Amino acid sequence: MLKIEELDTVVTLADQMKSEDGPIVLINLFTVDPADEAALLKAWAHDADFMKARPGYISTQLHAGIAGSSTFMNHAIWQDVASFRAAFTDPEFLKRLADYPDSAVARPHLFRKLAVENHCTA
């Protein structure tokens, strides 16, 4: 079963899910035993199929650490926190967490794009 830890110890995911911001970006860092990578990818794809069908979902992209790293990063874009909250707390989604290997740890956190002159657009 997937273990979930906080990425930010000051502002938790539960705190963030009380917000009404939007659009938002979910960054979810996964670590897993190298022997369990295939099982992690299978479970993640199953979850991505579920999320893709939820209202407010825009897109997702999974990234793998390089040079033998068994760290993965999911970058998902949602219309707003309310849509993400509804999907993340859905009993069907929560049931799927049992499909992850026992060595898997997730650290989800919500972000919003920033405008930084000459570098980023909001």
Burial label, 103 (beta-carbon count in 10 A; 0-12, 13-18, 19+): middle
Q: Which residues of the chain are modeled with pLDDT < 50?
A: none
pTM: 0.93
Domain ranges of the chain: 3-111
User: If one looks up domain 3-111 in CATH, what number appears?
Assistant: 3.30.70.100
Upstream peptide bond of 101 is cis (omega within 30 degrees of 0): no
Q: Residues 55-76: pLDDT tens digits?
A: 999 999 999 999 999 999 999 9
Residue type, position 5, single letter: E
